[in-house]
Amino acid sequence: MTFSTTSTPSARPAYPPAATAATPSLMRPMVSPSAASAPAALSRPALMTPKALTAAMLAVARAGQRLVAVGERGTVLLSDDHGLRWRQASVPVQVTLTQVRFVDAQQGWATGHMGTVLRTDDGGQHWRKLLDGVAVARLMAASAQASGDAAAIAQAQALQQEGPDKPFFDLVFTDAQRGVVVGAYGLMLATQDGGQTWQPVATPAANPQGLHLYGVCAAGARLMVVGEQGLLMHSADGGVSFSALPSPYKGSFLGLLQTHGGELIAHGLRGSVYRASADAQAWQRVDSGTTATLTPRSALLWPSATSSLPLSAGWALSMCSAEISSSMPPPT
């Protein structure tokens, strides 16, 4: 999986639901990333406390037989008995963590607010920071200057001036080396070495407005990304180029799942669920049986079938194993 390395398009107004200051003028001199001081939450370890067991958790994944959940203030919880008991892990930041993925029982990554990416090599017990918003701004600036593109340079200037406040919402790793993270204002970065180094990924043609990217899946050279305003982006060449696909939905897609058979499931506002085959060319609406917004934490499939969240007859969203189980026929 390879990725292009130029910058993303110009910034947009603040992303929901958190309110932020209005985006200032983009045409300003390039500044050092240190000019925007890093918030303390990026360098302070998460507080070890019994109250962590009541923290709001935003995502969960399997690391072998272990469950690893991530959430507010850098909280990571582990369970080795199918969710009956939980204990807190050691985390180097206090930012809210939004997603977590594992490629095996030991190696995993988590994304979060302020441009945070973490890695674990012991099944989630200990984590180290690979990337934060200060480093993201530096990478975007270097990429923009190298491209010579005026819009990319303006975007990088804004990113540096505003500080490390842009969250990542999702990530995918196809193996222990190759992965991609996506987030606010069209931010997408890729790694070919397990997260030690990162390169910005450009999607100006597919996402000219810099819409927020909420979900990503990969299978071989195929990469699928969903976002706000019904955004669907597809790459068939490992991220070298992206194309926007016709969308059946104008609301925001808040997450993307993939079945073991390769089918894609996008979910979002007001119980919206859409399904497509692996090529992502034709999307079919699925009756979810609910009008509730389906976020990545809306449905967690535990080992017990009785504890999954049914959407309608035969359906259950699974965030632990990143799959949809269905008794319905495949889309035609």
Q: pLDDT tens, 100-148?
A: 999 999 999 999 999 999 999 999 999 999 999 999 999 999 999 999 9
Report residue 331's pLDDT band, with 50, 70 and 90 as the boundaries: very low
Q: What is the DSSP string of 123-175?
A: TTSB-EEEE-HHHHHHHHHHHHHHHT-HHHHHHHHHHHHH-S-PPEEEEEESS
Tokens read off for 83: 């969710």
Per-residue pLDDT, averaged over 201-222, amounts to 93
Minimal CA–CA distance to 265: which of 321, 308, 220, 202?
321
Position 279 scores a pLDDT of: 86
Minimal CA–CA distance to 215: which of 85, 125, 113, 322?
322
**Cα(first)–Cα(last) distance of the chain, in Å?**
28
User: What's the chain's average pLDDT?
Assistant: 82
Position 297 scores a pLDDT of: 59
Per-residue pLDDT, averaged over 24-51, amounts to 67
Report residue 298's pLDDT band, with 50, 70 and 90 as the boundaries: low
Report residue 151's pLDDT band, with 50, 70 and 90 as the boundaries: confident
Position 42 scores a pLDDT of: 96
Burial of 208 (0-12, 13-18, 19+ CB in 10 A): middle
Describe the crossing of helices 150-162 and 133-147 by its angle, rounded to 10 degrees: 160
Query: 3-class DSSP state for residue 53?
Result: helix
Q: Are 174 and 121 in contact (CB under 8 A)?
A: no
Range in 132-136, 139-143, 239-243, 318-322 the model is least confident about: 318-322
Tokens read off for 266: 């996008």
Tokens read off for 94: 């206090």
Longest dimension (CA), the chain: 57
Judged against a pLDDT cut of 70, whether residue 300 lies above it is answered with no
Range in 74-83, 187-196, 287-296 the model is least confident about: 287-296
Minimal CA–CA distance to 103: which of 130, 64, 57?
64
Position 301 scores a pLDDT of: 37
Helix, strand, coil shares of the chain as percentages rounded to 5? 15, 30, 50
